[in-house]
Amino acid sequence: MDLIKSKSASAKLSLLSGALGLVTLVIFCVYGAVYDYFDTVVFLTLALGVACAAGYALLSRPAAELLNLAAGMRGMTMFTADPADTAPGSAHSYTIHGGNWAQGPLELLPDGTFTAHETGGGPVNASTIQGTWVDHGDGTATLNYDHSTIVIE
């Protein structure tokens, strides 16, 4: 305990970040077990973040300062949708991109339903999800779906 008391505020906050990351990691593992979904890359990213945050806080070496930077480099996956030629039977068609590793068609159908299929790549499996969509009349739409209905191929 004295080791932690003698650390800087930055190191203490890094330990707190590592503890929160550990809680997130445990919740992710439970979620993966309950819903039969487990993403190895997400697991490794969370585990690396916890290890780097703890390493920064507990090691007293100048090079350990880089671990705090590495702990925060998890980032998010940005999903984008680019307009595509409208497929037969669709009201609107798009090509969706998930980060640098997944893409596929998004079809908005005239009856207010949609189907999205991403091809997967790297650590991401191909999957399909369906739901409903609402046109806001200003060039935007809201997609509604139940994530538990995703079909992972």
pLDDT tens series, the chain, 153 aa:
566 676 777 778 888 888 888 998 898 888 878 877 677 777 888 888 888 888 887 786 777 767 766 666 555 566 788 899 999 999 999 998 876 677 899 999 999 999 999 887 655 677 888 999 999 888 888 899 887 788 887
Does residue 69 contact residue 56 with C-beta atoms inside 8 Å? no
Q: Are residues 63 and 85 in the same domain?
A: no
Q: Are residues 64 and 30 in the same domain?
A: yes
Expressed as residue numbers, the domain containing 30 is 2-71
Cα 88 from Cα 107, distance rounded (Å): 10
DSSP structure class, residue 121: B
Count of domains for the chain: 2
Q: Are residues 144 and 84 in the same domain?
A: yes
Q: Are residues 89 and 28 in the same domain?
A: no
Task: Please say which residue of 50, 71, 92 terminates a domain.
Answer: 71
The number of beta carbons lying within 10 Å of the beta carbon of residue 67 is 20
pTM of the predicted model as reported, rounded to 2 decimal places: 0.52
